[in-house]
A and B are shown apart, each in its own frame.
Chain A
Amino acid sequence: MVGKRVKCTGCSLLCDDIIIMSDGLYIDEVIGACLKGKERFDQVASKNRILSPFLRKNGDLVKVQLKGALNKCIEIIKNSSKPLLYGFSTVSCQAQLKGIELAKKINGFIDSNSIICQGKVLNTSSQTGMTLTTISEVINKADLLIFWGANVAESIPRLLNKALFSRGKFRMTGREIRTLIIIDPVKTASFNVMGVRDIALKIEPGRDLDLIRVLKEHCCAPSSDPPKAIAGIDGDDLRRLLIQLTNAENSVIFIGQGIVNSTSDSNVMQELLELVQMINRKQQKGRMSIMMLGGHYNMAGFDQVALSLVGKNHSLQFVNNQLAETSETIISKIDNEDFDCSVIVGTDPISHLPWKLSRKLISKPLILIDNKKSVTYSVADIILPSAITGIECEGLAYRLDNVPIELERIVQPPNNIISDEEILSMLIEGLKTI
């Protein structure tokens, strides 16, 4: 048994320091992974793994051959005039590329999970600009880490190890020199790593915009007189926050779901990005950056692939095999029932979406490409099993800081299951021949 250093696809951090003991057929031991990472490797042999293609007949799933399932998919897609493709955050960039190619070929609408997550930040940045950073830069240079609406200890468990506790080139004292600020309405598990000099800000739910506006008014303005309290944060803490923002040499705001989706008001993201730009303008000695904390391991990848391919990061509508202008999103497409079949890849929309959307989604033929059972599996009409990328097949993924990481194959997939990329390629090929 040989130890091998591999990358983990348990979350968007894509840790590259995991050691596994494997004979190429089974993974016997995983060393150094967090709970989420360990679970990811355990999925290979989990009891709820999808190991063969299925067709739903009279309400029951019937095991079929891959060819039969693919032919049925092709038949559904062929008969569809408004196909919907969704997911693509837990597959390789190569599969994402094939997904977009398929959407183009069938004049479909394709969107990734990013649209209900960190894609919103990316969209806003097209108006405001955005200063990004990388994990390496955070380790080496950052002295102020702000986690805003992010329970990172549970969502991206090893990020704090790297960003907060590591000793970097210009931050040799590591944790001792870094200040941690957490802004959240709830005292989450992440608060447990806070030290005496750190600042825990329990903001009132949905009042992030009020705080951002106060910070915009008073940050980097030594003579200003900040309010006594705002959004549940008292005057002393507010002053400490302003001092930190003004004096940090290299600060990073980690944007979590808590602020991205705190309200339906898009001004929150816009004003936060404006605050960062303003601080970077006024701050003489330092620099502030943003890092988006998407959860799925290749959510950033879809944005990258779509942007580089068609110049738009989400909600791609193809008409006459060309990208068409649209203001629709996956949400409005389903809500308006503007689709007649769906191809779901590596995600579980029936669990993620409000029940009214789920009802509409399952009212039309649903094709699922995934490697594990889910609620969507329970309602899908056709199920195509896929290999687990980064364990059973290789591929490229973009880490949360938009750094591309090559994922390798560690073990052989069971039952000769093929990758998402190969399944999508076979669908494209099949559509050509029929």
Chain B
Amino acid sequence: MEMIVNTVRMVDYDQLREHSFGDDNSLKENLAFGMLNPEDYKKLNLTPSLNLKLANDYGQVIIKVKQEKDIPLGTILMPVSIWANQITGIINKQLIFKNLKVNAEATRDTVLDIKDLLNLIKK
């Protein structure tokens, strides 16, 4: 299903806070997720045990999902983080991290933790 991802900064899900006071687990827990509308959640056939795979021309990422009724249909909000940056890119020397078109699908694959993600980037 085609959706739009917007990376945002939220007080409760802030990478600076997680880096300062958290650990690898809290980092993953509080940053590797996306918020979407409950109707989109149903359309994607998501369940609490499933994760969400987002893919576009820039890359792909697997995240956990939270439902939030105020999110517009077709939109996913992700906290700014290294997870979100797996699907951000560059056009005309500009970073693109808003209104990113992605293909979203439910998956049983697990969310990578920070160390695995870094190893993937280094490869």
Contacts and interface: CB of A to CB of B under 8 A. Distances in A.
A206 to B, nearest CB: 4
B84 to A, nearest CB: 9
Contacts of B91: 264
B121 A358 contact: yes
Contact of A42 (B20, B88, B98): B20
Interface in A370-411: 372-375, 378-379
Contacts of B14: 36
Interface of B: 4, 6, 8-11, 14-17, 19-22, 58-59, 70-72, 75, 77, 80-82, 85-86, 88-99, 114, 118, 120-122
Given A185-B75, A186-B72, A352 B19 contact: no
A186 B85 contact: no
A23 to B, nearest CB: 23
Interface in A319-364: 328-329, 331-332, 335, 348, 350-359, 362
A2 B12 CA distance: 31
Interface of A: 35-36, 39, 42-43, 46-49, 116, 151, 154-155, 157, 185-187, 189, 202, 205-206, 257-258, 261-264, 295, 328-329, 331-332, 335, 348, 350-359, 362, 372-375, 378-379
A331 B58 CA distance: 15
B9 A154 contact: yes
Question: Which 10 residue pairs are nearest across A and B when measured between Cβ atoms?
Answer: A187-B70, A264-B91, A206-B99, A354-B88, A46-B20, A154-B11, A264-B94, A332-B93, A261-B98, A205-B99
Given A263-B99, A355-B86, A157 B4 contact: no
A421 to B, nearest CB: 22
Nearest to B15: A351
B55 to A, nearest CB: 13
B122 A35 contact: no
Contact of B82 (A42, A187, A350): A350
B19 A372 contact: yes
